[in-house]
Amino acid sequence: MQNPHILEMKEISKEFTGVKALSNVSFKVGQGEIHCLVGENGAGKSTLMKVLSGVYPHGTYTGDIVFEGQVQSFTRISDSVKAGIAIIYQELALFPDLTVYENIFAGNEVKNGAVVDWNRTIIKAKEMLRKVNLSVNPEMLVKDLGVGKQQLVEIAKALSKNVKLLILDEPTAALNEDDSENLLELLRELKKQGITSIMISHKLKEVIAIADKVTVLRDGRTICTLDAAKNEISENVIIKNMVGREIEDIYPKRSGQQFGADVLEVRNWTAYDPRLGRNVAENLSLHVRKGEIVGIAGLMGSGRTEFALSIFGNPKDYKLQGELLMNGKKMNFKSPRDAIEAGIAYVTEDRKGDGLFLIQDIKQNISAANLQGVSARGRINLNEEVKVSNEYKKSLNIKAPSVEQIVGNLSGGNQQKVSLGKWLFVGPSLLILDEPTRGIDVGAKFEIYTIMNKLISEGMSIIMISSELPEVLGMSDRVYVMAEGEIKGELTAAEADQEKIMKLATQ
């Protein structure tokens, strides 16, 4: 082969009204390799991929894209698709109410003249599904598949368009360990078939496991490209290049804390979801002491979030059985408001979906769950609201020009801090954090861990639900492992390790 590089991006710069998102980024991808792109949030990874795929058309950036030896000037996404580039976003772009085969060929229909040939579509869809090792009936509706399988459908869709370069933006962010492993395996297989992949990921373990090359971006610049063949790739090296500093230990130490009495106790707790027709939580018993961080580990779909919702005033209207005690007193919450008043706060897993008011500003978000705290007789003291929000902005280190900033325009880490601020302002005694560091960068993670430690030292209790085992192990005083809606085991910080947790979680 003449040119070993399928893609070369040369000196790419891109500006958004005064903000330089990319400055002179150069980036080469070899034919048939798996190239990982890493960097903190806002480093420019997604912007770079949007330039490549034509979301930002030719002319709105400077620099050259050379794909298969030719300078390309994509003016729209369909141009890049035609050239053989497919991009799969973190938020999947499938039609939930259409079937698998309709989704695979959406926009690329198998036609007989002007009419869609559905029979041939189904046959071809089956072929594509085989290629991605997905054994589902192509006539199933996409909404009935799990996230992991939906991701595979998305890849099958890309393959149906004769893709040469596959770009995956955080493909495993929403997947459990099994599905993630499957996906990585699939990428390796596609590589054998000659398909080049670019993967953006925050999960460094995966990156290390799969990458032939790793390019690190920071602040819109290329920092380095590491080569697996030369043994250059390791977690420490990547992190060092990502943040520009060494993080000695990303889990801040805390020492000698004393646990008090039980803040929360749940006995024989069962939650039945009438929509699913099954128990999402079954016969759970657990307790949380004052000043303690209790981790709830488990794979996605193990019922962790459902359990948290069922004790947080049961907004999904599950049928509940069992007892819930706060500080030894039996409680019966009818709505989240009751739970909030009893001292529980719940930072949701999906901060954009059900956590934040994205079109409102920081102060309105921070006060949203506790407007009483800034008002008298139903009237809001708008100045007090700004003052309180500024205090949280400062103490949580929310990076924004002012508390009048619209939350939708903040980065993931800052959004998470706003979400945290909103719930801290409620003044809870028990804080439930559901995937508190999902999709946020290493620096912001460290800040959130530090805040957690400070909160328990002040006597708060925390339940932390997390899919990231190192996080569970690094932060928890005690760990419950959940699977299939049940608690499969309880481990102290001393006895817990990754193998034990995984074993319980996959029982």
Residue numbers at the binding site for another protein (CB under 8 A): 312-313, 315, 335-337, 339-341, 346, 348, 353-360, 364, 367-369, 371-372, 375, 378-380, 382-384, 386-387, 406, 408-409, 422
Q: Which of 310, 224, 217 is nearest to 270 (CA)?
A: 310
- Nearer to another protein by Cβ, of 174 and 308: the residue is 308
Nearest approach in angstroms of CB 408 to another protein is 7
Nearest approach in angstroms of CB 337 to another protein is 4
Nearest approach in angstroms of CB 60 to another protein is 15
Nearest approach in angstroms of CB 378 to another protein is 5
Q: Which of 192, 191, 173, 172 is nearest to 182 (CA)?
A: 172
Q: CA 462 to CA 505: how far, in whole Å? A: 21
- Nearer to another protein by Cβ, of 16 and 234: the residue is 16
Nearest approach in angstroms of CB 387 to another protein is 6
Nearest approach in angstroms of CB 382 to another protein is 7
Check: CB of residue 284 under 8 Å from CB of residue 484.
Answer: no
- Nearer to another protein by Cβ, of 241 and 365: the residue is 365
- Nearer to another protein by Cβ, of 348 and 467: the residue is 348
- Nearer to another protein by Cβ, of 127 and 354: the residue is 354
User: CA dihedral in degrees (321, 325, 331, 333; nearest 10)?
Assistant: -70
Q: Per residue, what are the HEC states of 251-264?
A: CCCCCCCCCCCEEE
- Nearer to another protein by Cβ, of 313 and 413: the residue is 313
Q: CA 24 to CA 8: how far, in whole Å? A: 13
Render 204-258 in DSSP notation, one character per residue. Answer: HHHHHHH-SEEEEEETTEEEEEEEGGGT---HHHHHHHHHSS--S-SS-------
Check: CB of residue 444 under 8 Å from CB of residue 450.
Answer: no
Instruction: Give exposure, 421-453, as e/b (b: 16+ Cβ within 10 Å).
Output: bbbbbbebbbbbbbbbbbbbbbbbbbbbbebbb
Instruction: Give exposure, 2-13, as e/b (b: 16+ Cβ within 10 Å).
Output: eeebbbbbeebe
Alpha-carbon distance values, 394 to 58, 421, 429, 458 (Å): 41, 10, 22, 18
- Nearer to another protein by Cβ, of 259 and 357: the residue is 357
Alpha-carbon distance values, 186 to 189, 199, 200, 204, 478 (Å): 5, 13, 16, 18, 36
Nearest approach in angstroms of CB 312 to another protein is 8
- Nearer to another protein by Cβ, of 123 and 382: the residue is 382
Nearest approach in angstroms of CB 346 to another protein is 7
Nearest approach in angstroms of CB 129 to another protein is 33
Q: CA 212 to CA 309: how far, in whole Å? A: 42
Take residue 162 and report the two structure tokens written for it: 């004769």
- Nearer to another protein by Cβ, of 330 and 387: the residue is 387
Q: CA 424 to CA 445: how far, in whole Å? A: 17
